[in-house]
Structures are given as C-alpha cells and as structure tokens.
C-alpha cells in the first residue's frame, strides 16, 4: 500500500470529503492523567466527510478508523470538571460516542474492513483548529444523518454549496498575464467509483480543475489547451452530462473526466473549449477509422477500443467500462486450434442465446412476463462484473463497491473454464469480457494475485490465489497471447461485425434487438427514465443505484448493419489484404508529370486506352466533338476524327482494342472502328445527352447514363454487332434527375449510379431493382467507381467532397472535403486519383485513406483521369484542352 492511505474509495459512493484537521486520538485515561504524550495517543489527521469522520494515523501500522455519523450517539465538546485543565491550557477536545466503527488497512495491508459493533468513545484533541467552528461543522453533518434520506441529501447539498461558495480561484495561478477567463462553473472530476466536486475554469489558453478538498495530489489541475488531443462528450448514469479530455504524451495530466450538473452546462463548456484558437485537436474521423479497420490497417482490438470510446465506454467509469466479446469457446482442450471454426463462439448471438437449452427456458419466461419484457435480467457489463475480473489488480475498488468486503471465495473469479461454463448455463450470468483479456501489454497481471491479498478459502479448503487457466495455456502470458491471436484471427475478423451490431449497432434495441434475442432490463437503456425530471431525491438515488447495478447499454453508434472486414490483420504484419492485391502493401506512391499534349480545341471530357500495333495509345474525346488517339511512347497523334457536331461526354474501348464507343450530347452512342477508321453505328439510346458509359465484360453488357434521368443496360458483343434499341435493351433504370455517373462492379452484378442532385444508388443487375440508396452528396455527382473486389465504392462531387462506401452494408465509411470541386476519379485498388476544378490532381491511399500527394499541371478543371494498368502511367484531361501523362510510382 502507498503511504498516503486515505482515499475517496474508503467512503460511501457519492460521499463528499470536505477537509481535514490535525489531531491527537487520545485514550480517556491519558487525558484524565494529563498526559497526551503517551504512546497510546496517536497523532494523525481527522477527515471530515459528509457521512462519516475518518481518522488517519501517522503511524502506518495503525488502522484508519471510520466513524459513520449514523452510528454516533453523541458529539460534543469535552466539559468534565476534572478535565478543565485542558480548557484552561487552551486545549480543544471533541468527544464522539458511537455504537459502531470501522477499522481499515491495519498494518498498511489491504484487507476486508473490520466492523467493530461495540460502543466506544473517541477523544480527538485539536492541534490548531478552533473547536467551536469545527464542532459546528461536524454537528451539522451529524444532524443531517438523523434525517430521512430526502432531507439528509438536501441538507448535505446545502452544506456543500455553502462551502463551495467560499472557494475562489486565484488569478495568480494563471500561466500568463494575457490569459482571460472564458467560463467558470462547478462540476465533478470522475475516477472509477469516485465523484469529486470542484471548480472548472476555462481560459483562453488553459483548462483548470480546482477540487474543493485536498485529496488531489495537486491544489489544482492545469491542462494547456494546446496539449489537448481530443475532447469527447460522455454519458454518465444514462445522462448526457460528461466531458472527457485526453492530453498528449508530454502533458503532466493525461486525461480529465468531468461531469456537469446538466446537459446544458456540459454542452456550453464543450462548445467554449472547441472554439478556442489555441486548441489543436488530433484528427479523428469515425468513418476513416472504420475503413482502416476494414482494410486491415487497424487491429480488431484497437477498433473495439475505439468503438467503446464512441459509445461512451471509458476506463475512468466502471459503470461504462469498455466491453469485449468472448471469442474462444474451447477452454478444455490441451491444444488450441485457431484454424478450426469450432474453436470460436458464435458472434452473431448474444451470450444468453449461445446455449439452446438455457435460451429455451429464458424464452419461456419472457413469453409469460408482463411489459416491459426482457430476456436477460443481468447485463453483460456492470461495475460488479468488471471488478469480478479485475479484483486481483484493483482490490481496493472491490472493497469500495462492496462496503469493505470481498466476494465469497467460491463466487470469485477462480477459473476461466468455470466462468465460461457458467456464462453458458447459469440463468442469470451473461457477462462478456473486458479489454485486459486481449491486452498483451498487461502480461496477464489481473490473473495473478501479485499483491498477495488474502481473499479467503473456498469450500474445498483451497486458498483463493491465481486464476486457473485453460489446459492450452502455459502461463498467463501465453493465455493473453493466444486470446489476442484468436481476436485477430480470420474467423473473428470475418464475423466481428455481427457482434458489433448487437452491442453498438442496429440490433442493440427495438424490433431488431427483439429479432436478435438481445433484450435486457429496461433501465439498461438510455432514455428509459429521465433522471432530471425526478424531483424526489430518494427516488432518484434509488434509480441511479439500479442503473449502476443493472449495467448500461452502450450509446448506439450504427443504425445500419456494420460492414464486414475485407482484410485480415496480422499482429506480426500489420497489413495483409489479399483481395485488394499485391499493390496494397506497397508504400511510397508518388505521381510525377512526364509529358503534356495539346491536341483538343476545347475541354477534354473522357480518356480511355487501347493498343495499336503492340503500342499503348491514349484515346480521348472532348467538347470539340473530336476523338483523338495518341501514342503513349512518343506522343505522336495517330488519329483525329470528328464523330459529331455535338460535344462528346464519354468514351470506352471494347476488349478487342479496335472498337471505341463514345457518348454524345445528341442523345446517341457512337461506335467507331479504329482499324478501319469509320463509324460502325450510332444508337439513339436516350432522349437527352448521354453523360456516361461503362462496359461490363463478364456479361457482355453496355451501361449508359443520360440527362433524360435514366440508365440503360444494353446487350453488346465484340466483335461488335449492331445494338438495336428494340431488342438489345435489357433494362431501363429510372431516376428522378439527370444521371451524371455510372460504374459496374468486377463481377457485373451491381451498377452504381450518381445524379445531378447528389443521389447515389446501388442496383442489382439480376433483378434490375434498387438495392441501396446511399448517403449522397449535396451537389452533382461527377464520377463514381467500384474498387477491384467490389466491396467499396468511391464517389466525388461538386460539393468538394469524395466519399467511400461499403457496398455490402450499404453505408458510408469515409468522407473528406477538399478546397475545390472534384470532377473525376480513378482507382486501382491501392490508390485513387481525384481531379479538381482548379487543376489539381490528388493522389490518395485507399488503404489508410491519407492524402499522399497533390500536384497542379493544368490551368483548368481536371475533367478526366484514367490509369493505364501495368504501365505505371496516369493520363489526365482538362478544361485547358490538354492531356498530361504522369508516372505513378
């Protein structure tokens, strides 16, 4: 134990520590003998608290003595005639008679508290304080303890407010002369199981917390705003009143968790912090983090920690401690086979539904239950469950939570196989795990009794010591290592999104939760009760206790199915994305302009590639109605032909390399034979300009989009045979506004379309129906493209943003806004390129979604960009009539 033994954990939950006095705890005989120097008298500090007095002796071998006010029979100033020598010599003695007192930490050893159910009188000789003032303060608190709960709480609150009003923040503590106060308010600092009130002061450069007592190691906490890396609004006891501040590594204060009285006060403080010019927060984008996890850049462990934080779960609040899943279901084998699916728990089901026999009984009880009904009366995470796992590491928390006692030895966390068996069979045990089970930095310290605490003896006579591990674990380090490997395994990576749906997502509550058999007691859910509207203090306290004991459902993060992971994270190798291709692991991508071709008379609108006589060529079209073909190698123009008297909007080359299709503003699709230099066909496929074309090689289909608000799907072949609108049209997909962009996935199963008003749709080619309407842009969608495996869709728009969607889940997983309108895009699986309205070409990493490079070689908007596969070349076309050839390395 530390030398500073007194802490707020020794008090009742919610109890307030006010101040301390220097005193002697005197024996009655030594006072009568006029000898306060005897060894029986102890020098120490008397802590005045809202519900008790705690004597903390200087001698560490002596126990702390806690005297609850409710157990006191009398508190008075000593006035016995034969002790008048004390008064005459200006000695002040308070005598306290009680029916019970508590001894704690005797010998400075952490152990269950000793409750002394005997009548005893304590004599405290005050060394410096005025006895009249002290006695008046203590007597006030003593009187409060005799009142009913409601009146007691109100009186203590009034005493607390009176004391707080006397505490002022001294401007001398400011960092500099130019610091100005922005906001000053009373709030609470939160640590596990402890609420400590104080004054919060925000200035133009610093955030201060000044506690109203002296329990903190510093008289005030000081956080320079420039050292803050994140500010998170938190939920506390199902109320949106919390604010957690995280600081950078070199800051003295690592974090500060504050709780205000109301949401209005919390929101005001948050807003004031966020607008301070000196604040420089780290970038944190939920959608980007999800995408990093999907791409294998972020581990399952780190992603779950991130989701817990988003859902108001924090290590500083045991009522909302981070929750992790059981992933292994085998705790009896000698060897753990992580390649066997049978080794793992079904992550699509809550713990309570894993055992069919138990679940059947729970379901029967549920059907007979009056509303509000629930399947599980016990939650998967409560303070009790957290400390059940962590009692060996944090025994003082358990003593605080259980009024100075550890749990019965037989009910403690003694064996991992036994706990797993219990959560599968017990009708009231559905707990999940805590992050420590997968954190290889802890070395499994919570599984061993390293502090040598005496937790007692089990019914079989064995002493509670280290946790019994599964047969497949050599020691605690090996156990944690294998648990982490299991969490990062292929099986868990492929199924973790199901568990996320249950805990943080759309199956958390409502009809989807009912369908998923994921229903808990109603007080576990945010919004089930409005604590601010409960005026009865005793009723409100009772509800707060129930909320704490029943557990709290995390804040809902996702309202749609969570996307599945597409890449596997390896602990020893952070990136392994076989679906994306070998280029995904390549780092250091750069673009460099090589050549410029000035050829078109007006804006270049589309680019494709072909091969003529074993030579790679660039095919381009523009508003000048011209189709141009240039050699990539020597830049020589090989063909220039006017296909129409109207602008050309799009171009593609069929796999034969000879047939070119171009979309035109005259409502037609023009088919041109490069080898023979003639127009083969002109199909009037739409009633307005053809805006975009895409080829589906696997099914031999042509997809065209038009300003007539439709997408047409045509049966097409190569060598080319005529497309006849009457017989070749397979489907017509109607939209409400102009179609400006289309794309088809690699397997030719889905089409994506973007419109003039910013909408984005996913269509099934088989059913010719809409699968998803994705969260769109606020302006025209200029381009859209699937990644090689079809799991992602990228779009760009005039609203200056690009977006990345998960096509399986149908949700947006990332968005980013830049400084110019985005007119076109191209991707190859590892990177993607964006063309901007100011002539900038942006190169982005698709795996970790970071900007690699941006270059400007055009004097007008970049309207077209394409990547020449296997040639490490990119070609851009612009409003400035030019083509630029880039190296992609």
Are 544 and 634 in the same domain?
A: no
Q: Quick check: 73 pLDDT over 90?
A: yes
Q: Is the same domain home to 130 and 218?
A: no
The total number of residues written for the chain in this structure: 889
3-state SS record for 728-765: HEEEEEECCCCEEEEEECCCCCEEEEEECCCCEEEEEC
> Within this chain, do residues 172 and 139 fall inside the same structural domain, yes or no?
no
- Final residue belonging to a domain, choices 164, 180, 209: 164
Q: How far is CA 66 from CA 101, 115, 141, 155, 156, in A?
A: 6, 10, 15, 22, 19
**Mean pLDDT to the nearest integer, 405-420:** 96
Could you tell me where the DSSP H helices lie in 716-870?
A: 725-728
* Angle, CA 456 vertex, CA 454 and CA 459 arms, to 5°: 160
Q: How far apart are CA 67 and CA 55, in angstroms?
A: 8
Domain range for 392:
297-319+339-550
| E strands in 542-689 | 591-598, 604-612, 615-622, 626-631, 637-642, 648-653, 659-664, 668-673, 678-684
How large is the average pLDDT for residues 638-661? Answer: 93
- 529: alpha, beta or left? (left if phi > 0; alpha if psi -120 to 50): beta
Span 307-361, pLDDT tens digits: 999 999 999 999 899 999 999 999 999 999 999 999 999 999 999 999 999 999 9
Residue 14 inside a domain? The answer is yes
Domain end point (choices 132, 164, 196): 164
Same domain, 180 and 197: yes
Cα-Cα end-to-end distance for the chain: 59
- Domain contains 559: no
Q: Is residue 534 part of a domain?
A: yes
Q: Is residue 877 part of a domain?
A: no
500 in any annotated domain: yes
Lay out the sheet containing 255-259: strands in order across.
Answer: 221-224, 206-211, 194-203, 181-191, 255-259, 239-247, 228-236
Are residues 362 and 470 located together in one domain of the fold?
yes
CA separation for the pair 154, 413 (Å, rounded): 40
Contact 361, 502 (CB under 8 A): no
Distances in whole angstroms, Cα of residue 739 to Cα of each of 708, 726, 849: 7, 22, 27
Q: How far apart are CA 752 and CA 763, in angstroms?
A: 6
- Answer whether residue 88 shows pLDDT above 50: no
Q: What's the CA gap between 366 and 379, in Å, rounded?
A: 16
Strand ranges of the sheet holding 637-642, from the earlier edge strand across to the other edge? 604-612, 615-622, 626-631, 637-642
Does any domain span residue 409? yes
Is the predicted pLDDT of residue 87 greater than 50, yes or no? no
Of 769, 793, 820, which marks where a domain is finished?
820
Q: Residue 873: inside a domain, yes or no?
A: no
Same domain flag for 33 and 107:
yes
Quick check: 297 pLDDT over 60?
yes
Residue 703 maps to which CATH number? 2.130.10.10
**What is the average pLDDT score of the chain?**
89
pLDDT (tens digit, 9 = 90+) per residue, 123-149? 999 988 888 899 999 999 999 999 987
Q: Are 861 and 836 in contact (CB under 8 A)?
A: yes
pLDDT of 259-269, one tens digit each? 999 999 999 99
* pLDDT at position 581 over 50: no
Q: Give the model confidence (pLDDT) of 422-467 as tens digits.
A: 999 999 999 999 999 999 888 899 999 999 999 999 999 999 999 9
For residue 85, CA distances in Å to 22, 24, 29, 658 come to: 21, 17, 14, 117
Which of 89, 77, 120, 84 shows the shortest CA–CA distance to 102? 120
41: CATH: 2.30.29.30
Residue 825 lies in a domain: no
Domain count, the chain: 4
Let me know whether 189 and 154 are in one domain. no
Query: What CATH number should be reported for the domain holding residue 479?
Result: 1.10.1540.10
Rounded Cα gap, residues 699 and 714, in angstroms: 10
User: Are 526 and 623 in a shared domain?
Assistant: no
Q: How far apart are CA 116 and CA 60, in angstroms?
A: 20
The neighbouring-strand residues paired with 853 are: 843
155 and 175 assigned to the same domain:
no
Q: How far apart are CA 530 and CA 815, in angstroms?
A: 35
CA–CA gap between residue 705 and residue 713 (Å, rounded): 9
For residues 156 and 173, state if they share a domain: no
pLDDT of residue 29: 59
By three-state DSSP, how is residue 548 classified?
helix
Checking if the pLDDT of 80 tops 60, the result is no
Q: What predicted TM-score, i.e. pTM, was given to this entire model?
A: 0.82
Largest CA distance in the chain: 128
- The stretch 579-587 carries a mean pLDDT of 38
- Distance between CA atoms of 50 and 159, rounded to whole angstroms? 9
Residue 656 has a CB neighbour count (10 Å cut-off) of 14
Are residues 396 and 440 part of one domain?
yes
127 and 40 part of one domain? yes
CA separation for the pair 664, 645 (Å, rounded):
9
């Amino acid at each position: 134990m530390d030398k500073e033994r007194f802490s707020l954990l020794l008090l009742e939950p919610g109890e307030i520590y006010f101040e301390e006095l220097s005193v002697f705890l005197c024996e009655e005989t030594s006072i009568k003998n006029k000898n306060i120097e005897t060894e029986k008298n102890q020098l120490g500090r008397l802590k005045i608290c809202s519900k008790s007095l705690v004597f903390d002796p200087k001698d560490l071998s002596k126990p702390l003595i806690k005297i609850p006010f409710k157990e006191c029979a009398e508190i008075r100033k000593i006035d016995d005639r034969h002790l008048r020598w004390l008064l005459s010599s200006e000695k002040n003695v308070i005598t306290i008679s009680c029916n019970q007192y508590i001894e704690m930490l005797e010998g400075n050893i952490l152990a269950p508290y000793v409750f002394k159910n005997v009548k005893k009188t304590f004599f405290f000789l005050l060394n410096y304080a005025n006895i009249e003032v002290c006695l008046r303060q203590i007597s006030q608190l003593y009187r409060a303890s005799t009142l009913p709960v409601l009146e007691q709480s109100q009186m203590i609150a009034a005493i607390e407010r009176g004391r707080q009003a006397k505490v002022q923040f001294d401007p001398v503590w400011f960092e500099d002369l130019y610091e100005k106060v922005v906001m000053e308010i009373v709030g609470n600092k939160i640590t596990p199981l402890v609420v400590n009130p104080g004054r919060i002061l925000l200035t133009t450069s610093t955030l201060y917390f000044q506690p109203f007592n002296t329990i903190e190691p510093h008289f005030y906490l000081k956080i320079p705003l420039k050292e803050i890396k994140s500010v998170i609004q938190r939920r506390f006891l199902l109320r949106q009143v919390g604010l957690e501040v995280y600081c950078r590594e070199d800051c003295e204060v690592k974090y500060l968790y504050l709780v205000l009285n109301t949401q209005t006060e919390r929101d005001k403080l948050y807003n004031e912090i966020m607008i301070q010019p000196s604040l420089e927060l780290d970038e944190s984008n939920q959608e980007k983090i999800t995408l990093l996890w999907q791409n294998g850049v972020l581990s399952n462990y780190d992603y779950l920690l991130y989701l817990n934080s988003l859902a108001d779960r924090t290590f500083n609040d045991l009522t909302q401690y981070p929750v992790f899943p059981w992933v292994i279901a085998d705790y009896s084998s000698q060897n753990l086979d992580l390649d066997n699916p049978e080794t793992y728990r079904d992550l699509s089901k809550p713990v309570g539904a894993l055992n069919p026999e138990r679940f059947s009984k729970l379901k029967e009880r549920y059907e007979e239950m009056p509303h509000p009904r629930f399947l599980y009366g016990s939650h998967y995470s409560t303070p009790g469950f957290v400390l059940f796992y962590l009692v060996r590491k944090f025994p003082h928390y358990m003593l605080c939570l259980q009024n100075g006692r550890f749990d019965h030895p037989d009910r403690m966390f003694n064996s991992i196989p036994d706990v797993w068996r219990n959560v599968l069979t017990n009708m009231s045990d559905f707990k999940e795990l805590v992050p420590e089970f997968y954190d290889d930095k802890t070395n499994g310290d919570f599984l061993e009794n390293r502090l040598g605490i005496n937790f007692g003896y089990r019914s079989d006579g064995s002493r509670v010591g280290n946790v019994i591990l599964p047969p497949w674990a050599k020691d605690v380090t090996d156990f944690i290592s294998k648990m982490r490997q299991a969490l990062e395994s292929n099986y868990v990576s492929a199924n973790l999104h199901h568990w996320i749906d249950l805990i943080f997502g759309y199956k958390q509550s409502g009809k989807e939760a009912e369908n998923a058999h994921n229903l808990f007691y109603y007080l576990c859910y945010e919004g089930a009760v409005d604590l601010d509207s409960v005026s009865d203090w005793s009723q409100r306290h009772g509800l707060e206790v129930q909320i704490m004991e029943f557990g709290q459902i995390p804040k809902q993060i996702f309202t749609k199915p969570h996307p599945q992971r597409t890449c596997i994270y390896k602990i020893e190798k952070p990136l392994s994305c076989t679906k994306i291709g070998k280029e995904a692991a390549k780092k250091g991508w750069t673009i460099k302009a090589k050549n410029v071709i000035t050829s078109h008379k007006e804006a270049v609108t589309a680019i494709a590639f072909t091969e003529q006589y074993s030579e790679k060529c660039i095919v381009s079209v523009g508003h000048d109605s011209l189709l141009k073909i240039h050699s990539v190698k020597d830049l020589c123009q090989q063909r220039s032909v006017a296909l129409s008297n109207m602008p050309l909007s799009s171009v593609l080359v069929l796999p034969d390399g000879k047939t070119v299709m171009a979309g035109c503003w005259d409502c037609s699709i023009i088919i041109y034979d490069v080898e023979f230099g003639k127009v083969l066909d002109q199909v009037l496929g739409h009633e307005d300009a053809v805006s975009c074309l895409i080829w589906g090689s696997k099914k031999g289909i042509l997809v065209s989009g038009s300003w007539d608000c439709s997408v047409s799907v045509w049966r097409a072949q190569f060598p080319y045979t005529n497309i006849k609108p009457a017989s070749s049209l397979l489907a017509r997909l109607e939209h409400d506004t102009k179609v400006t962009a289309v794309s088809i996935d690699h397997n030719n199963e889905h089409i994506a379309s973007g419109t003039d008003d910013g909408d984005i749709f996913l269509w099934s080619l088989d059913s010719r129906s809409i699968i998803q309407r994705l969260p769109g842009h606020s302006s025209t969608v200029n381009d859209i493209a699937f990644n090689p495996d079809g799991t992602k869709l990228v779009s760009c728009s005039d609203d200056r943003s690009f977006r990345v969607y998960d096509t399986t889940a149908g949700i947006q997983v990332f968005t980013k806004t830049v400084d110019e309108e985005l007119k076109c895009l191209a991707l190859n699986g590892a990177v993607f390129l964006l063309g901007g309205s100011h002539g900038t070409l942006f190169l982005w990493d698709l795996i970790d979604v970071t900007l690699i490079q941006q270059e400007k070689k055009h004097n007008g908007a970049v309207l077209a960009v394409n990547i020449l596969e296997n040639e490490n070349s990119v070609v851009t076309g612009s409003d400035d009539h030019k083509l630029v050839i880039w190296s992609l390395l």
